[in-house]
Amino acid sequence: MLQVISLLLENKPGALMRVTGLLSQRGYNIESLTVARTLDPALSRMTISVEVDSSQRQQVIKQMNKLINVLQATDLTDAPAVVRELVLLRVKTPQESRTAVLKEAEIFGGRVVDSSTDGFAIEATGDAEKLGEFIDVMGSYGEIEVTRSGALAIALEAKKLRLQPPVPTGNGAGVEEKVI
């Protein structure tokens, strides 16, 4: 099944590779992955949609939480969350259907970001299903080219972030768990 995972991770070289490596070494195919800086530039927020055997969902989250660079991995598949995606689409339109295309775009909440005699570039956001319909409709007017961002998700309930405090070097002692 398609699992939606939200990750908060350190913005460090290799951090992305560790996350994707965990999935690829298990033979899972990543449907989509988005990543960008958070308010704190030292951190990134990542949303991954990945086809995972349903019995392995928890294991995947646990393994991600074990990664040193990952501060928090959350399974949003069944959790209260908003999942959105951005589509950028260019459609070639003959003169006579330009108005119709604009109307349709409006129905889907799309916004024209560029217009030329050839046609339009349109952006739209929404859930994957709605965007699929939008793309189909646009395709019926003429040749299209599409870029999708992949799912972006945010949980609707804040989850406690457990961060570890600094520890002294050279003693290899255990850390105490602390909630910040």
Partner 1 sequence: MATLMSGARMLLECLAREGVDCMFGYPGGVTLPFYDALYEHHIRHILVRHEENAAFAAEGYARSTGKVGVCCATSGPGATNLTTGLVNAMMDSIPIVAITGQVTSKLIGSDAFQEADTFGITRSCTKHNYLVKRLEDLVQTIHEAFYIASTGRPGPVLVDVPKDVFQGQGHYQPVTTIHLPGYKVFTEGHTGQIRRAAQLIEKSSRPLVYAGGGIVSANASAELREFVELTDSPAVVTLMGLGSLSSEHPNFISMPGMHGSYAANMALTECDLIVALGVRFDDRVTGRLAAFAPHAKVIHVDIDPAEIGKNRAPDVPIVGDVKRVLGRLNTLLAERGRKPTEDVAAERQAWWRQVRAWKREHPFDVPTSETEIKPQQLMREIDRLSGGQAIVTSDVGQHQMWAAQLIRFAEPRLWINSGGLGSMGFGLPSAIGAQTARPDKLVFSLVGDGGFQMAIPELSTMVSQGLPIKIVIMNNGHLGMVRQWQTLFFNHRLSAVELDSFPDVEKLAAAYGFKGRTIDKPWELAPALEEAVREPGPYLLNVKVTPFESVYPMVPAGAGISEMVLGPPQPVEVPAQ
- Residue (65 or 97) nearer to partner 1, CB: 65
Contact region for partner 1 (CB under 8 A) — 103-111, 117-125, 128-136, 170-178? 170-178
**Helix H or strand E encompassing 61:** helix 57-66
Applying the rule CB under 8 A, the residues between 92 and 121 that interact with partner 1 are none
Least Å distance, CB 165 to partner 1, is: 7
Q: DSSP of 28-57, one letter per residue?
A: PPEEEEEEEE-SSTTEEEEEEEEE--GGGH
Total count of residues recorded for the chain = 180
- Confirm or reject binding of residue 38 to partner 1 (CB under 8 A): no
Distance CA 86, CA 148 (A): 6
Residue 94, both tokens: 């003959």
Which of 18, 57, 84, 130 is close enough to bind partner 1 by CB under 8 A? 18
- Residue (96 or 177) nearer to partner 1, CB: 177
Amino acid at 28: Y
- Confirm or reject binding of residue 63 to partner 1 (CB under 8 A): yes
Distance CA 73, CA 119 (A): 42
Interacting residues toward partner 1 by CB under 8 A: 9-10, 13-14, 17-18, 21, 25, 58-59, 62-63, 65-72, 162-170, 172-177
